C-alpha cells in the first residue's frame, strides 16, 4: 500500500506539471514543470523525502527498461534518420560537451559560494 501511495504522489505531481504546461504559454515540457514542482515541494518541506523515496528508487532502477520503446522508435524511423545521421550525431556531441562544461562551471561556482558561507 505504501508503494501505491508513493506512486500516486509522484503521478499527482506529474499531472500538475501537465496542467502547468497546458496553462502557461512557455515552451517548457510538462516533465520539467513536474520536476521543478517536485523539487519545490521537497525543498519547502511540504513533501518529505520518505513520502516518495522507495517508489522513486524503484523507478530509477527500472529506467533502462523505459528507454526500450524509444530505441524501437528510432529503429523503425531509420529511413528518415539515415540522411541526417551525421549532423544529428555532431550536434548531439557538441551539445553534450557544452552541457557538461556549463554544469561543471556552475557546480564549481556553487561549491565556492558554499565554502565562503561556511568560512566567513
CA dihedral 96, 101, 107, 110 (to 10 degrees): -130
- 57 & 96 share domain: no
Average pLDDT score over the chain? 94
Residues 26-84 have pLDDT tens digits of 999 999 999 999 999 999 999 999 999 999 999 999 999 999 999 999 899 999 989 99
Query: Does one domain contain both 87 and 106?
Result: yes
Q: What is the pLDDT of residue 93?
A: 97
What is the CB neighbour count within 10 angstroms for residue 83?
A: 9
Q: Return d(Cα 85, Cα 90) in angstroms, integer.
A: 9
Domain containing 54 equals 1-66
pTM (2 d.p.)? 0.68
Domain end call among 24, 43, 66 = 66
* Same domain membership, residue 59 and residue 7: yes
Amino acid at each position: 500500500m505504501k508503494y501505491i501511495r508513493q506512486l500516486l504522489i509522484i503521478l499527482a505531481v506529474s499531472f500538475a506539471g501537465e496542467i502547468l504546461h497546458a496553462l502557461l504559454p512557455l515552451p517548457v515540457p510538462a516533465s520539467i514543470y513536474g520536476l521543478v514542482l517536485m523539487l519545490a515541494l521537497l525543498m519547502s518541506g511540504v513533501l518529505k523525502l520518505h513520502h516518495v523515496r522507495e517508489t522513486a528508487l524503484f523507478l530509477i532502477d527500472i529506467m533502462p527498461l523505459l528507454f526500450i520503446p524509444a530505441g524501437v522508435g528510432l529503429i523503425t524511423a531509420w529511413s528518415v534518420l539515415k540522411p541526417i545521421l551525421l549532423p544529428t550525431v555532431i550536434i548531439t556531441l557538441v551539445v553534450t560537451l557544452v552541457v557538461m562544461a556549463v554544469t561543471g562551471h556552475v557546480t564549481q561556482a556553487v561549491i565556492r559560494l558554499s565554502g565562503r558561507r561556511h568560512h566567513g
